[in-house]
Amino acid sequence: MTEPCFDEAGLSSQPLGQPEALGDARSPFVHRFKTARCHYLFDVNTNRILRVSKAVWDIIADVGVLDEHELVAKYSSTHAAYTLSAARREVLATQERGMFLAHRPTRITAYHQADLADQLDHKRGQLILNLTEACNFRCSYCIFGGQYSNRRKHSSRRMEWQTARAAIDDFMQHSDQAESRFVTFYGGEPLLEDGLLARCVEYVKAENAGSPVQFSLTTNGSLLAARRAAYLAANEFFIIVSLDGPEPVHDSHRRTLQGEPTWATVMDNVRAFLDAYPSYKSNSRLRFSAVVPPGADLRELQTFFCEHDLFTECTGVSVSPQSPSVGEAPAPDDVPRARSYKSLREQFLQDLASGRVAESYGSRETLFLAAVCAGAFIRFHRRKYLSPRLPDVMTAPSTCIPGARRTFVSVDGDYFACERVSEGPGNLIGDVKNGIDMGKVMKMLDQWNESSDQCRRCWCLPICAVGCFASVGDDAPLGTKVSGQACSICRQQSHELMEEYSAVMERNPHAFDFARQFESS
């Protein structure tokens, strides 16, 4: 995306897709944006937003580069000389208070070796066991359906007990200081291997001598019945059921191996499960995951999840767009998904500004809006202010350490960073026999950090969200992440987010008070 940041004639604007903030290294390390009412500067060194005058907004890139006379000469056609002098003094006074500094980090590092070792040796958080590559569904958008390059395909291969036990032993040994520990079951459809799943659970419970271990799985819902359902409930599983919405939407993409519709079976199983185990209506351990293809209308999903009697305020839903297949062009802006997302986002912003979100947070309608729209706003609102400024040498703020937060185990016992990366040799970080290979993890992080010189000059640095190895794409070399699409999109979305966030806060300074309940999450 190369749309200019600024639209005033005569300004040296920087495309949002580029990493550099305003001006050169002598300029304040800031990013400019505006709303219909006000002009703002995002101060990169302190992670703060400051409302400024139009004159300050105009000249900020040249403070420290031009002297006062040069500034007045450059901007005399748009501002009076006394206004420009006053604006310059305001910037200099703000710098004395520790903001609008020209400081950029001298180096970005992907990790500190001691921290890396500590995370991998003692604080692994989640073990994801790929019990089987088999599935009794054939969903049109499944990443294992053959239309995505460098991804495994459905097969009959399954994990052996010896492999699962070795992975569990390794995880338990290296998660003794983790704040929380999860063992998650993945597939294919993991409930096809319910015997192996139960054996793993009983082994964890028998061998665990540390902090509690919680269990979770994602299921298509077709086997969530009878003894399987009873076992999951008895062991207080966190359960995510894939459910794409009302019957026509769901059945258009989620079919059985034989091509039969699946919605009725899934809904019947979920209803029976909730009738048999009513605590799951209120304990927040049952969630639904909806994938939205380009042709779907999010308003239909909103009506379904907000009005159907099966769902409660505690049975949450996550909503994610379908990823395009390899070589597939992005969907045009006029498809129903794009139109309905824009409509929902506008509604969410209006409800934020009016205070309705804060007043009704917890209702199903607001929770659905939040599931679709709120995540980035909440993260931005809860950002930490920095003091006194960005360090000279800093670790990349959002880069995931492969194997630390999650360790994904293939059916063969190979280790990967998580379930979202392809199971190719470039992403391999170890195996159940030898554990996580620190050298391979360091190599991945070093490759990821090859563009760090651009990162240290990027105005998105303290709020960067490009830390996921899966965001690069299966075929892209890790070192191209900054010059690739992921970083351009991050900057574009961050710019728009700041505009929308500030416009809401102008109308309602308490709009995001509801985000306080996420402090401990």
In tens, the pLDDT along 296-328 reads: 889 999 999 999 999 999 998 999 888 654 445
Q: What is the 3-state secondary structure (H, E, C) of 114-132?
A: HHHHHHHHHCCCEEEEECE
* The token pair that represents 67 in the structure block: 């002297």
pTM: 0.87
CA gap 480, 423 in Å, rounded: 20
- Own/partner pairs, 192-198, CB within 8 angstroms, 24+ separation: 192/131, 192/132, 192/134, 192/135, 192/136, 192/223, 193/131, 193/132, 193/158, 193/159, 194/223, 194/227, 194/228, 194/231, 196/131, 196/158, 196/159, 196/161, 196/164, 197/131, 198/231
Question: Which pLDDT does position 21 carry in this prediction?
Answer: 56
* The token pair that represents 361 in the structure block: 């947070």
pLDDT per position in the chain (521 positions), as tens?
222 222 222 223 344 555 555 557 899 999 999 999 999 999 999 999 999 999 999 999 999 999 999 999 999 999 999 999 999 999 999 999 999 999 999 988 877 788 889 999 999 999 999 999 999 999 998 989 887 777 889 999 999 999 999 999 999 999 999 989 999 999 999 999 999 999 999 999 998 766 789 999 999 999 999 999 999 999 999 999 999 999 999 999 999 999 999 999 999 999 999 999 999 999 999 999 999 988 888 999 999 999 999 999 999 899 988 865 444 555 555 578 888 999 999 999 999 999 999 888 888 888 898 889 998 999 999 999 999 999 999 887 767 889 999 999 999 999 998 888 888 888 899 999 999 999 999 888 887 777 677 888 899 999 988 777 776 555 455 545 444 577 888 899 999 999 999 999 999 999 998 887 644 33
Name the burial class of residue 474, with classes exposed (0-12), middle (13-18) and buried (19+) by CB atoms within 10 angstroms of its CB.
middle
Question: Which pLDDT does position 9 carry in this prediction?
Answer: 26
Strand order in the sheet with 435-436: 316-321, 286-292, 238-242, 213-219, 181-186, 126-130, 406-409, 414-416, 428-431, 435-436
**DSSP per-residue codes, 205-224:** HHH--SS-EEEEEEE-STT-
Question: Which pLDDT does position 520 carry in this prediction?
Answer: 38
Q: In the structure, how many helices (H) and strands (E) does the chain have?
A: 16, 15
